[in-house]
Amino acid sequence: MDEGHTGVYEDALCRVREIGESAGIEAEVIESLLRPRQVLTCSLPVRMDDGSVNYFTGYRCQYNDVLGPTKGGIRFHPDVTDEEVKALALWMTLKCALVGLPFGGAKGGVVVQPKALSPMELERLSRAYVRAMADFIGPQVDIPAPDVYTNARIMGWMMDEYEAIRRVRSPGVITGKPVRLGGSLGREEATGRGAYICIRELAKRKGWQPDQIRVAVQGFGNAAYHVARLLARDGYKVVAISDSKGGIYSEQGFDIESLWQEKQKSRQVRAVYCEQSVCQLVEHKEISNEELLALDVDLLIPAALEGVIHSGNVESVRASTLVEVANGPVEAEAEHWLDEQGITVVPDVLANAGGVTVSYFEWVQNRTGYPWSLEQVRERLETQMGEAFDRVWHLSQTEARTLRGAAYSVALRRIGEAVTAHGTREYFGGQDG
């Protein structure tokens, strides 16, 4: 295969066209998803600690709101582009439709290296973003949430700034907030737990014995940690973990809690085993992220950024199953090769939908003023994700589709029902009685 990447947004549109047409989705529905509803680009002036002013570019895309107010995270990353934000917002549109949430899709981002900012500079940037977006977002219009390099504290700052501008208490404007500011219990673990539920459901259908399954996880952020932790708890052998700097491998597997503890302390992925506060190095091999993707494992979990598996490296993938915890980690052209090899791919619009699902739960709690217990959140996430996986699996079996094809078909049909309810060419042309 030729090396190279397609544009991430064009790649996303390609899949919508291809899967929509093969599933018999009405052309008007597909057409409605080939362009965003609106995109706002802004320049954010931030006073730095040395007294100077730096300008950062911010984006917010509201892609499609036919099912409800738009919903999607905000990422702080040096590689954010308008094309990436539109692709992420499109995927969020499909994700919300797939799991049955009354939301459309959105996404936001700021072009910044957040690790280079002081805590006070980060707060000023977060508040500047909301000032620029204050007329664009709202609890019944567009509800942001955390994403790459943003977190609960940043969401708290953003909510506070929005409330100061509007002069009204409005906890539902942002999800993923600190619990004491109206956040939901279980939100921090939600994306990883949702992926874990999908893997557990897949294991039932494939007849897996957890202690026989070797797992490699690319990425070690919040979502990756929680899915790895839950899998290890069930007996899966997590043999490789990586972050942006590289990874580690051990055939014996790792103690995930110890790795996470060391990551929080040293900001490095290091192979250690910790007994309370005492940690010791364990035997391991250092590997690159590319080497991790090519490991001979049963389950590969790309949980970093989009486009990491592409036409230039897909033929090195040896895992029999991929679960996309990151958004768009497998490019469309690369997935054709995976399908030909019989490699199962659980798509991002299903596998990482736990985060937006619990964000929806948080939004509901904010609107009713009635907080849920952690047990309630987990039970409802189990139900929502389990039903979504079952629906996708059933369709993949009855219509001989890949799991992505089935997931997109479910989402597109739901969006299609909403579009049809407003009237399509058949109705207005007099062909629909």
For residue 3, what pLDDT band results from cuts at 50, 70 and 90?
very low
Which residue spans within 251-366 are E strands per DSSP?
A: 272-275, 278-281, 285-287, 299-302, 321-323, 344-346
Same structural domain, 148 and 294:
no
Same structural domain, 149 and 196:
no
Residue whose tokens read 């609107």: 367
> Among 261-270, 284-293, 344-353, which is the least confidently predicted range?
261-270
Same structural domain, 158 and 232:
no
CATH number at residue 157: 3.40.50.10860
pLDDT at position 272: 53
Same structural domain, 165 and 102:
yes
Residue 179, Cα to own-chain centre: how many angstroms? 21
Q: Does residue 205 fall inside a structural domain?
A: yes
Task: Answer with the one of 144, 171, 198 that is the final residue of a domain.
Answer: 171
Task: Answer with the one of 171, 204, 227 that is the final residue of a domain.
Answer: 171
* 3-state DSSP assignment of residue 321: strand
pLDDT at position 424: 73
- Tens of pLDDT, residue by residue over 152-165, are 999 999 999 999 99
Q: 348, exposed or middle or buried, with CB in 10 Å at 0-12, 13-18, 19+?
A: buried
Query: Does residue 109 or residue 263 have the better pLDDT?
Result: 109
Q: 111, exposed or middle or buried, with CB in 10 Å at 0-12, 13-18, 19+?
A: middle
Same structural domain, 125 and 194:
no
- Write down the catalytic residue from 71, 86, 107, 177: 107
* 3-state DSSP assignment of residue 1: coil
The answer to whether residue 71 is catalytic is no
Q: Does residue 337 fall inside a structural domain?
A: yes
CATH number at residue 308: 3.40.50.720
Q: What's the half-sphere exposure (Cβ side, CA atoms, 13 Å) at 172?
A: 18
Number of domains in the chain: 2
Q: What's the whole-model pTM score?
A: 0.91
Same structural domain, 244 and 134:
no
Same structural domain, 150 and 224:
no
Q: Does residue 263 fall inside a structural domain?
A: yes
Same structural domain, 144 and 203:
no
Domain that holds residue 60: 37-171
Same structural domain, 166 and 194:
no
Q: Does residue 363 fall inside a structural domain?
A: no
pLDDT at position 76: 97
